[in-house]
Structure 1
Amino acid sequence: MSDYQNTTPPPPPANAPASDDNSIAMLVHLSGIFLGFIVPLIMWLVNKDKPEKAFLTENSKEALNFQLTLLGIYFISGILMIVFIGFLTYAAAWVAGVVFAIIAGLAANKGETYRYPMTVRLIK
């Protein structure tokens, strides 16, 4: 028998998020593409008082802030559609929302917290 067969792998670091939390955080970011701010809001409200879910809470809060910022941009774009520039700003905001949500989802899956650029941080 070899010496390597009876060894167990070392435990993960104490502050490392669980892989389930990584997957859920990724889904929270990606859900913003189709469902807007609803899923990040629910995940943040459910997990905000649980210290063991700090990674998931932080990602949910970041996704919620970004989706609320996008909602404001969509509203302003809707008003600007009267002068036709709103169609361009709406399309640009939608493309940016999809791209940044994918980038944030990939980062969350790796265990990193992604900070969206140009986001109004309403939830602190």
Structure 2
Amino acid sequence: MTLRDERNWGTFIHLGGIVGSAIFRPAGNIILVLVLWLIKRNESRFVDDQGKEAINFQITISLVSVLISMLGGIFNGLWSFGNWVAGGNMFYGGWNWSWGGLHGLLWVVNLIFSIIAAVKANEGVSYKYPLSLRLVK
């Protein structure tokens, strides 16, 4: 694999999280990155390294998304229970909107860091995502 091919595949892998999440919302970010990485990981050490970074970051993003959904569900359930106990007179604090906003913020974080990583990979620089769980080694 040529140096240019390594850089291109590194770029594609990092952008795969954005494209995958746009195609298949629940897990597309992980699936597309994983497929691209598995196809080319044995051909280049750089592609293998960047693929691991990208898959770890996308897994982290997905886990945080699940956590936000769980917390939102818990808080919405508590609010509903409190409203039921209060006889329907409890003011709705907008929990649902705020948790949805956190999902939007998470998507923006994914977008920003994936683009930064893709640009770095295109320059031939290994990129390490901040605050990413290192599950795939």
In the TM superposition, what is the alpha-carbon distance from 1:67 to its structure 2 partner? 0.2
Q: Verify: 1:34 aligned to 2:16, yes or no.
A: no
Q: Which residue of 1 aligns with 2:5?
A: 20
Q: Verify: 1:65 aligned to 2:50, yes or no.
A: no
String of CA shifts for 1:8-58, please: whole Å, max 9, x gaps: xxxxxxxxx61011011101101101200112212333344x3x5100010
Q: Give the residue type in structure 1 aligned to 2:99.
A: G
- Give the TM-score taking structure 2 as reference length: 0.71
Is the contact between residue 25 and residue 108 of structure 1 (CA under 8 Å) also seen in structure 2? yes
Q: Which residue of 2 aligns with 1:112?
A: 125
**Structure 2 unaligned blocks of 5 or more:** 21-28, 76-94
Q: Verify: 1:101 aligned to 2:114, yes or no.
A: yes
Is the contact between residue 13 and residue 37 of structure 2 (CA under 8 Å) also seen in structure 1? no
The alignment yields a C-alpha RMSD, in angstroms, of 1.6
In the TM superposition, what is the alpha-carbon distance from 1:120 to its structure 2 partner? 0.5
**Count of equivalent residues:** 106
**Structure 1 unaligned blocks of 5 or more:** 1-16
Q: Which residue of 2 aligns with 1:79?
A: 70
Is the contact between residue 40 and residue 61 of structure 1 (CA under 8 Å) also seen in structure 2? no
Is the contact between residue 107 and residue 113 of structure 1 (CA under 8 Å) also seen in structure 2? yes
Q: Which residue of 1 aligns with 2:45?
A: 54
SS in 2 for 1:37: helix
In the TM superposition, what is the alpha-carbon distance from 1:92 to its structure 2 partner? 1.5
Q: Give the residue type in structure 1 aligned to 2:70.
A: I
In the TM superposition, what is the alpha-carbon distance from 1:72 to its structure 2 partner? 0.4
Task: Among all aligned residue pairs of Structure 1 and Structure 2, give the percentage whose two residues are the same amino acid.
Answer: 32
